A and B are shown apart, each in its own frame.
Chain A
């Protein structure tokens, strides 16, 4: 397992290349990002040949994606063209695939939760791939001030897909996002979630990655004013031959902001590969930052690989709290012993413990139907590996 990088700095100096360069170097121009060769820090864990050219854009954009939406009446959902002025105002692409996706999509989905409105039901956006050509998408979710909503993003089918998802959480708004990567086994996905958290706003993200051949998902959070709170939860179940990569970046660029990152995964089968990179930047001149990130991996069989790297960069002395933890291991045989000592057969005890490992995270989802839905998906995947 890779070792954590923790740098405590009073000031940033020129010449170095901190994690934060990624955001500084954002651009909408694809040409600003050379084609990666796999040795770059941000690409070194990703098997580039399995991206099916998504980082090169050599093939034609001939993939077919359908986007279905469902929302309560008080929430506006629109399908718009590339020229819609609301798109692309909250972020700059931070890598080549993100820039390519922004340059290549044809239609975008825009979800608006009007100010002071509490969505009466979750908003659903289902992206289904029907072919193996490249496809690009764009989604913008804006929770206007003092609104509250839950948005469920679901990816299914077969595709080679890249997209950018903008989450704009305005002052005092509360936005919960569930992103379920439930692809067919041959799909490839590279996604970026760009989130801007407003004053006293609250953002919660649950990323659940189960399917695909390769999924690389990068949730990035920045704050536009003090008092913002972001919680990023992730769950992945990586089976034989699958590559699941999650790269979170929390940029505490203003004072008095809070973040929690907790990603948990299970790996089972030959060549199951999970990557978690957790970048946290506590910006110069800020104070009162409260941040903690955590990655845990349950290794169920031999032949799997985990890369788990927390990166914490602190440019100020005025931190409220900043910590990280990363652990990978087998099922705890003392847990299994306890359950078995009550008569529960070994295989059932294993299932209970694995379910429990994920339940801790799933139970944080406030919508009961969603909790059950995700537990069911996890159970199905679990059943495949027993």
Chain B
């Protein structure tokens, strides 16, 4: 049983050497293992900032608040330590790392997170199966990390990493965007396989209810102006789908 708590989190985006702008204005959210929380909100409201700030992205600086994973202060950890502690972020725009092969990268990541190098044979089998489950062609293993991948291919590989690294908390930032219907299904199945253990808490950031038909949320939160503006059950997603975010966009403006 894992408890992931975000308390009063404030963060700035670092724009230039001098310039910064506050984006997160006091975020409170608690996610327990076995729960899936959908975060929905208008463009520019700070959803990705929340995800990146928690992961420790160098462009964002946390100015106040806490992030606790089973009581441990995540913000005092380095980026890699956070991941080894059980935090995972599937990025809205996964990064291309030229020249580093996907297989080499995945093996390094799995070794780091599991604390020991997996047996080569066993790992290559595990990787092949995980790739197959996400309809990823085996040839991708030899390519550079995300190098020249299409948007949809990048998203599949984020979920591949989710399945291999088995985190305690997964933040999925618009994993559904840029996916066609078939790809959405495949990716959702991957997320559901990870959820099936009941030992993972999921924060699912999305604009659309489309993915929520496959990955059923337990809670839905509306994110606006750098805060959680409203929380409810799955029915809130339906309301948002019908009404849009207008009410929230205006509210804080």
**One of A50-58, A221-229, A356-364 contacting the partner:** A356-364
Check if B165 sits within 8 Å of A342, measured CB to CB.
yes
A310-357 with Cβ < 8 A to chain B? 333-335, 337-346, 348-349, 352-353, 355-357
Q: Is the CB of B100 within 8 A of A343?
A: no
Q: Closest CB-CB distance, A305 to chain B, in whole Å?
A: 24
Cβ of B47 within 8 Å of any chain A Cβ, yes or no, is no
B211: Cβ under 8 A from any A Cβ: no
Taken together as a complex, chains A and B put the C-alpha atoms of A346 and B161 apart, in Å, by: 19
In Å, the complex CA distance between A30 and B113 comes to 63
User: A339-B105, A340-B78, A356-B144 in contact; A345/B98 too (CB < 8 A)?
Assistant: no
Q: Chain B residue with minimal CB distance to A334? A: B95
Q: Does B109 lie at the interface of the complex (its beta carbon under 8 Å from any beta carbon of A)?
A: yes
The complex places the Cα of A340 from the Cα of B109 at a distance, in Å, of 8
Name the A residues within 8 Å of B57 (CB-CB).
337
CA distance A356 to B108 in the complex (A): 14
Q: Determine if B109 and A337 form an interchain contact, defined as CB atoms under 8 angstroms apart.
A: no
Q: Would you call A342 and B97 a contact (CB within 8 A)? A: no
Within 8 A of B (CB), among A234-271: none
How many angstroms from the CA of A338 to the CA of B145 in the assembled complex? 10
Enumerate chain B residues within 8 angstroms of A360, measured Cβ to Cβ: 98-99, 144
Chain A hits for B101, CB < 8 A:
359
Interface string of B78-105 (1 = CB under 8 A from A): 1110111000010100110111110011
How far is the CB of A267 from the nearest CB of chain B, in Å?
A: 18
| A356–B79 touching, CB < 8 Å | no
Q: Judge whether B112 is part of the interface by a CB distance below 8 angstroms.
A: yes
Chain A residues with CB under 8 A of B55: 337, 341
In the complex with contacts A337-B79, A356-B144, A343-B99 CB distance below 8 A: no
Residue of B nearest to A348 (CB): B108
Task: Please give me the residue from chain A that is nearest to B104 by CB atom.
Answer: A352
Cβ-based interface call for B252 (8 A): no
Q: Write out the residue numbers on chain A whose beta carbons fall within 8 Å of the beta carbon of B78.
A: 340, 346
Q: Which of B94, B97, B112, B144 contacts A345 (CB 8 A)?
A: B112
- Residue-wise, chain A 349-386 has the 8 Å CB interface mask toward B (1 for contact) of 10011011111100100000000000000000000000
CB-CB under 8 A for A356 and B98, given A337-B57, A344-B112 = yes
Q: Is the interface of A mostly helix, strand, loop or mixed?
A: helix
In angstroms, Cα B112 to Cα A344, docked, is 6
Q: Which residues of A contact B112 (CB under 8 A)?
A: 342-345, 348
Chain B, interface size category, equals 20 to 34
B80 engages A338 (CB within 8 Å): no
Candidates B95, B99, B108; contact of A338 at CB < 8 Å: B95
Say yes or no for B152: interface residue by CB 8 A criterion: no
Instruction: Select B113's contact among A333, A343, A349, beta carbons within 8 Å.
Output: A343
Q: Are the CB atoms of B100 and A340 closer together than 8 Å?
A: no
B103-144 residues with Cβ-Cβ distance < 8 A to A are 104-105, 108-109, 112-113, 144
A94 to B34, CA, bound (A): 73
Contact call B100/A359, Cβ cutoff below 8 A: yes
Most chain B beta-carbon contacts within 10 A, residue among A349, A355, A356: A356
- Of chain A, the residue at the smallest CB distance from B97 is A335
Instruction: Specify which chain B residues have a CB less than 8 angstroms from the CB of A337 in the assembled complex.
Output: 55-58, 79, 95
B55 to chain A, nearest CB (A): 5
Question: Given A337-B95, A341-B89, does the pair A355, B165 have CB atoms closer than 8 Å?
Answer: no
A335 touches B109 (CB 8 A): no
- Known A-B contacts A337-B95, A338-B95; the reply to A344 vs B109 at CB < 8 A is yes
A363 to B104, CA, bound (A): 15
Whether A342 and B99, one on each chain, are in contact in the complex, defined by CB atoms closer than 8 angstroms, is no
Distance in angstroms from B196 CB to nearest chain A CB is 22
Judging by beta carbons under 8 Å apart, are A356 and B80 in contact? no
Contact of B97 among A333, A346, A356, A363 (CB under 8 A): A356
Question: When the two chains form their complex, are residues B95 and A352 in contact, meaning their CB atoms are under 8 A apart?
Answer: no
Cβ contacts under 8 Å, A335 to chain B:
95, 97
Q: Please, how many angstroms separate the alpha-carbon atoms of A362 and B94 in the complex?
A: 25
Chain A residues contacting B165 (CB-CB under 8 Å) are 342-343
Q: Mark B47-66, 1 if CB is under 8 A from A, else 0.
A: 00000000111100000000
CB distance B100 to A353 under 8 Å? yes
Assess the A333–B58 pair: CB atoms within 8 A: yes
Best-surrounded residue of A341, A344, A346 (most CB of chain B within 10 A): A341
Q: How far is the CB of A44 from chain B (nearest CB, A)?
A: 33
> Are A352 and B80 CB-contacts (below 8 A) given A341-B56, A358-B99?
no
Docked-complex contact A338 and B58, CB < 8 angstroms: no
A142 to B211, CA, bound (A): 64
- Does the CB pair A357–B95 fall under 8 Å? no
Q: Which residues of B contact A334 (CB under 8 A)?
A: 58, 95
A342 touches B161 (CB 8 A): yes
List B residues 18-52 near A (Cβ within 8 Å): none
**What are the residues of chain B within 8 A of A342 when measuring CB–CB?**
83, 105, 108-109, 112-113, 161, 165
Would you give the 0/1 interface string for B237-250, flagging 1 where the beta carbon is closer than 8 Å to chain A? 00000000000000
* Alpha-carbon gap, A339 to B145, bound state (A): 10
In contact, B98 and A357 (Cβ under 8 angstroms): yes
Contacts A342-B161, A343-B113, A352-B105 aside, 5 further interface pairs with beta carbons under 8 A come to A341-B89, A343-B83, A345-B112, A346-B78, A356-B100
Q: List 15 A-B contacts (CB under 8 A).
A: A333-B58, A335-B97, A337-B55, A337-B58, A340-B78, A342-B105, A342-B112, A345-B112, A346-B79, A348-B108, A352-B105, A356-B98, A359-B101, A360-B99, A363-B99
Which 3 interchain pairs have the tightest Cβ spacing?
Answer: A356-B99, A343-B83, A342-B109
